[in-house]
């Protein structure tokens, strides 16, 4: 194809551009280097797309240009799978076997009732069950539907990644969804490639294409042999600029991504444990219900069951068939309802509500949950391994010290530096960087981009050393680049000066690492001196002094390269010369501690969570920052508490396990050391949370029980490997996540205690009453109403309790702690026993005590039972604390739900006689019900004085809990 068909004016040539798009898409996807050559290469393609490879998209009205490109070439988005509709959740709810049995019973009851008593009164029993079941289904569907929407929003937020693009000559951060065809995107280690495109310029770019090809080998991308980049692949080494040629559904990745959706059915470990608990309790409920049904059937057919007037309900052949069927249907409905109440299906719902509420609140607290299980696991964390830079510190770096040789050069006195040495420093900064400098033409203000360290050095060089970056880059040709990596902790470049064709190598990185490669240094007068043992020791002390002042120490080094030597290196993959270097200078970069970090560290330590700092900085800087943050105490013995990565790595496995608990700080560590530490801690039974921001942190983030990646400095690979993204990179947010994790676990325990109390009481009352009296005091509709209070309103009230300071005073839960603790058993058994005693007393003696009819007695039992749950809901707020009302005024939702429950109960008793099978109660009877129910408060207070054994209750019964 002739490249003349390509036309740069997007606005007027959309037909040609569609043809160009199809051609470019085909060339890139087929990796057709020959066809790309015929188009005139990358620069010609960029020109055709109205883009300059250096300046990016350049237009006076850039917003209009971007909108036009999006309209012509498409947006960088994928069609989302349709969200599950409300109808889907309705169908799911109707699949519940107990609901289906209840509906069948309701239908039979309705049919026989209408046949027996006519349409006006015959629908009451069956219709009541229908309405009650409908309310239960509706509430369940609405909560699940809303939860699904919440997950959809979360999925959208987790996919919204920011990239650096060049537009109008300036680097800008834009969302992946806003990238358009023609954009020049800057890629660095750890980035996900956002679209299909072509390599423009860069160095040592290695891309992991395993997500596309399945091949584990990294692919080298360059302008000569393989300039093709694909959406969804990951940058594992080097840096580059790419020209975007196709976006969204026009990319290879597009078709695959459109079929991927967030797994809204993800179950957390706690949910799975609760499902097992639900199944176990359900089996008990099923057994009790079956026994009740058998007892009721036997009593009915032997003539022991009587109606309201005391007449036998079954009189052999005299009894109508319809009456027998009606009676049997009623018994089956009662038995099924016992199962419905016994099965605590509210437990999974409580977890769902708790997680949904917590996730929303955590988002406001700068933490985005990517994996649900992390919420609850974080509550069990015993150790947090944290980064230093940006997490404990502000990541707002500034050069505050400069040493030339053995002399400190004060700010404002840089003109005293020998011009030749100053020129070499400027050259080393300008060419050995992944950052950039942009100068606004309007206000002459400099804009620096890159990592915080790069920005600090560039800012210092431009503003203090008067470095002209553009001029320096134009005067040199880049021959080879060695990108910064976490192993070497430095980066190097080899350049050729255009003015005299001489070749030079520049290195920049961790001061003690660079110093090892140097054999000479420049003094303050620019005189070259040998770096003997004495001078080396002095420089090492200078580096240590800066580190002890919490400064990150970076060194610059330079050497000339002989042309013949450069040619030899070309044959050996052209390595940047890294021996016999000359030290140019040392800079100290200050990165102040974040405000509030010390308080957050103390809060974690008080909560029994050990904080370990793992950093790439040297021992002295690490110690200084750790002391400033409270990880190390000022007078603490650091032997064994502070180690270097290499030292830790060289321990035997037994030594590592023996010493790992004592370590507080690991300096000069590699990502492998971090992974090793996480593995050791897990081996010792700890629940480990790890923070990380780099690509190389991914293994440690995956290995940890909870991986926390950084939202600002974190690479895309790190975020994908993590469970939670800390949006503000702040350790205080990590402490907040810990508090929320504990809150989630605690709220679920509260609800379990609350619900199991009702389960035990309801089962015992109905079983004893059925066996002894041949009747169930709580009808199907009444039990469904109690079920609604427990499962939905109760879950909502207790699941939305906010974290308290008290949560951070308790030790971590750990891995082996049972879900239902001895404290919970004590509380729930005491309340259940009280409720059973009172309600059975009412069942057998209620008519005499209150001098009422059987119907009123049953209403008193129902009303007292519901009010007992209302009062017990307050008790459930605090598992151990005596004062169950503490902080209640802050939880308006809890108070609202209690109020709604009471109002609805009054309506049930006083106004829904036919529906709820109740009788109206007078003021005295209401007062008696309230007094009986309120006694649960002093009982709760007294019971909490009773000590419980440490050994889990279920272990005495040899049951796995």
Give the pLDDT confidence of 820-831 residue by residue, as tens digits: 888 888 999 999
> Which tens digits make up the pLDDT trace of 135-175?
767 766 776 677 667 656 656 666 677 888 988 888 888 88
pLDDT greater than 60 at residue 686: yes
pLDDT at 601: 93
CA distance 361 to 145: 19
pLDDT at 4: 40
pLDDT greater than 90 at residue 215: no
pLDDT greater than 50 at residue 854: yes
> Where does the pLDDT of residue 263 fall: very low under 50, low under 70, confident under 90, or very high at 90 and above?
very low
Average of per-residue pLDDT values in the chain:
82
pLDDT at 260: 44
55-64, 125-134, 673-682, 719-728: least confident range: 125-134
CA distance 107 to 372: 40
> Where does the pLDDT of residue 763 fall: very low under 50, low under 70, confident under 90, or very high at 90 and above?
confident
Measure the CA dihedral 715/718/720/721, to 10°.
Answer: 170
Q: What are phi and psi of 166, to 5 degrees?
A: -100, 120
Class of domain 42-77+177-260: mainly beta
User: Would you kindly state where each structural domain of the chain is located, as residue ranges?
Assistant: 42-77+177-260, 269-357+739-956, 367-394+594-729, 398-590
Q: Which residues are catalytic?
A: 387
CA distance 717 to 161: 11
pLDDT greater than 70 at residue 12: no
Homologous superfamily of the 398-590 domain (CATH) = Calcium-transporting ATPase, cytoplasmic domain N (3.40.1110.10)
Handedness of CA 295, 300, 303, 309 (dihedral sign): positive
Handedness of CA 849, 850, 853, 854 (dihedral sign): negative
> Where does the pLDDT of residue 10 fall: very low under 50, low under 70, confident under 90, or very high at 90 and above?
very low
> Where does the pLDDT of residue 105 fall: very low under 50, low under 70, confident under 90, or very high at 90 and above?
low
pLDDT greater than 90 at residue 543: yes
DSSP string, 341-384: HHS-THHHHHHHHHHHHHHHHHHHTTEEESSTHHHHHHTT--EE
pLDDT at 504: 94
pLDDT at 836: 92
Residue 537, classified by CB atoms within 10 Å of its CB into exposed (0-12), middle (13-18) or buried (19+), is exposed
pLDDT greater than 60 at residue 928: yes
**Does 269-357+739-956 carry CATH code 1.20.1110.10?**
yes
Angle, vertex CA 291, rays to CA 290 and CA 296, nearest 5? 100
Q: Which is more confidently placed, 637 or 896?
A: 896
pLDDT at 257: 53
Model confidence, pTM = 0.71
> Which tens digits make up the pLDDT trace of 765-816?
877 877 776 667 777 678 778 877 776 778 778 878 888 888 888 888 766 6
DSSP string, 815-879: TT--SS-HHHHHHHHHHHHHHHHHHHHHHHHHHHHHT--HHHHHHHHHHHHHHHHHHHHHHHT-S
Residue 296 near residue 774, CB atoms below 8 Å: yes
pLDDT greater than 90 at residue 863: yes
CA distance 816 to 99: 36
CA distance 296 to 286: 15
The two structure tokens encoding residue 111: 């049919």
> Which tens digits make up the pLDDT trace of 501-534?
999 999 999 999 999 999 999 988 889 999 999 9
Domain 367-394+594-729 adopts which CATH fold? Rossmann fold (3.40.50)
Q: What are phi and psi of 199, to 5 degrees?
A: -65, 125
pLDDT at 9: 43
Q: 220 by DSSP, 3-state: which?
A: strand
pLDDT greater than 60 at residue 961: no
CA distance 109 to 127: 8
């Amino acid at each position: 194809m002739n490249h003349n068909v390509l036309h740069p004016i997007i606005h007027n040539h959309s037909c040609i551009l569609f043809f160009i798009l199809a051609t470019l898409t085909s060339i890139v996807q087929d990796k057709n280097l020959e066809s790309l050559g015929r188009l005139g290469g990358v620069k010609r393609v960029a020109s055709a797309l109205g883009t300059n490879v250096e300046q990016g998209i350049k237009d006076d009205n850039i917003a209009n240009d971007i909108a036009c490109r999006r309209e012509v070439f498409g947006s960088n988005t994928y069609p989302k799978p349709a969200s599950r509709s409300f109808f889907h959740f309705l169908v799911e709810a109707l699949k519940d076997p107990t609901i289906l049995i209840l509906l069948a019973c309701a239908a039979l009851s309705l049919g026989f009732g209408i046949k027996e008593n006519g349409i006006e009164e015959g629908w009451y029993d069956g219709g009541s069950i229908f309405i009650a079941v409908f309310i239960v289904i509706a509430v369940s569907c609405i909560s699940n539907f809303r939860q699904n929407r919440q997950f959809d929003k979360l999925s959208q937020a987790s996919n919204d990644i920011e990239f650096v693009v060049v537009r109008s000559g300036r680097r800008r951060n834009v969302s992946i969804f806003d990238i358009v065809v023609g954009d020049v995107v800057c890629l660095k280690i750890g980035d996900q490639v956002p679209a299909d495109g072509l390599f423009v310029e860069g160095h040592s770019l290695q891309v992991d294409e395993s997500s596309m090809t399945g091949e584990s080998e990294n692919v080298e991308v360059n302008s000569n042999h393989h300039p093709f980049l694909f959406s969804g692949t990951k940058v594992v080494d080097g840096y580059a600029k790419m020209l975007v040629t196709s976006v969204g559904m026009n990319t290879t990745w597009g078709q695959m991504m459109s079929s991927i959706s967030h797994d809204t059915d993800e179950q957390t470990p706690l949910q799975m444990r609760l499902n097992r608990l639900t199944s176990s309790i359900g089996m008990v409920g099923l057994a009790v219900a079956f026994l009740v049904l058998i007892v009721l059937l036997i009593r009915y057919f032997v003539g022991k069951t009587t109606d309201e007037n005391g007449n036998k309900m079954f009189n052999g052949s005299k009894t109508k068939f319809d009456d027998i069927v009606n009676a049997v249907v009623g018994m089956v409905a009662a038995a099924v309802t016992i199962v419905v109440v016994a099965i605590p299906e509210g437990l999974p719902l409580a977890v769902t509500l708790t997680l949904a509420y917590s996730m929303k609140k955590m988002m406001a607290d700068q933490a985005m949950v990517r994996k649900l299980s992390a919420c609850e696991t974080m509550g069990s964390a015993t150790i947090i391994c944290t980064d230093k830079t940006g997490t404990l510190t502000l990541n707002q770096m500034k050069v505050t010290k400069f040493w030339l040789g053995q002399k400190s050069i004060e700010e404002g006195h840089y003109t005293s530096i020998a011009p030749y040495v100053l020129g070499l420093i400027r050259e080393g900064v300008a060419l050995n960087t992944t950052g950039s400098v942009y100068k606004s033409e309007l206000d002459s203000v400099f804009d620096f981009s890159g990592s915080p360290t790069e920005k600090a050095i560039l800012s210092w060089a431009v503003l203090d050393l008067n470095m002209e970056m553009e001029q320096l880059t134009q005067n040199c040709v880049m021959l080879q680049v060695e990108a910064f990596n976490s192993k070497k902790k430095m980066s190097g470049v080899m350049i050729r000066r255009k003015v005299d064709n001489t070749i030079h190598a520049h290195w920049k990185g961790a001061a003690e690492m660079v110093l090892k490669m140097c054999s000479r240094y420049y003094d303050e007068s620019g005189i070259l001196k040998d770096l003997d043992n004495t001078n080396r020791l002095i420089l090492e002390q200078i580096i240590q002094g800066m580190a002890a002042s919490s400064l990150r120490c970076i060194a610059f080094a330079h050497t000339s390269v002989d042309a013949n030597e450069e040619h030899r290196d070309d044959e050996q993959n052209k390595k940047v010369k890294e021996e016999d270097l000359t030290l140019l200078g040392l800079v100290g970069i200050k990165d102040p501690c974040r405000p509030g970090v010390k308080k957050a560290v103390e809060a974690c330590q008080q909560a029994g969570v050990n904080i370990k700092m793992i950093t790439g900085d040297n021992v002295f800087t690490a110690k200084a920052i750790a002391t400033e943050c409270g990880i190390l105490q000022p007078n603490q013995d650091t032997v064994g508490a502070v180690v270097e990565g290499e030292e830790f790595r060289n321990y035997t496995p037994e030594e590592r396990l023996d010493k790992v608990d004592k370590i507080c700080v690991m300096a000069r560590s590699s990502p492998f050391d971090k992974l090793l530490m996480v593995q050791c801690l897990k081996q010792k039974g700890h629940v480990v949370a790890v923070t990380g921001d780099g690509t190389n942190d991914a293994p440690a983030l995956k290995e940890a029980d909870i991986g926390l990646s950084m939202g600002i400095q974190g690479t895309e690979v790190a975020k994908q490997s993590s469970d939670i993204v800390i949006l503000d990179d702040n350790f205080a947010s990590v402490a907040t996540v810990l508090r929320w994790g504990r809150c989630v676990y605690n709220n679920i325990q509260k609800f379990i205690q609350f619900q199991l109390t009702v389960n035990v009481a309801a089962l015992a009352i109905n079983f004893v009453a059925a066996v002894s009296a041949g009747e169930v005091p709580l009808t199907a509709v009444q039990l469904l109403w109690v079920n609604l209070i427990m499962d939905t309103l109760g879950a909502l009230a207790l699941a939305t309790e906010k974290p308290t300071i008290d949560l951070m005073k308790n030790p971590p839960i750990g891995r082996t702690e049972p879900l239902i603790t001895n404290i919970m058993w004590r509380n729930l058994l005491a309340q259940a026993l009280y409720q059973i005693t009172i309600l059975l007393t009412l069942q057998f003696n209620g008519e005499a005590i209150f001098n009422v009819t059987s119907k009123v007695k049953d209403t008193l039992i129902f009303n007292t039972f519901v009010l007992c749950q209302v009062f017990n809901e307050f008790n459930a707020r605090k598992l151990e604390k005596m004062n169950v009302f503490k902080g209640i005024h802050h939880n308006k939702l809890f108070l609202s739900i209690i109020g709604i429950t009471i109002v609805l109960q009054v309506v049930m008793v006083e106004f829904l006689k036919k529906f709820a099978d109740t009788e109206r109660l007078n003021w005295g009877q209401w007062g008696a019900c309230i007094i009986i129910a309120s006694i649960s408060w002093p009982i709760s207070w007294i019971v909490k004085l009773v000590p419980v054994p440490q050994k889990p209750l279920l272990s005495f019964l040899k049951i796995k809990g």
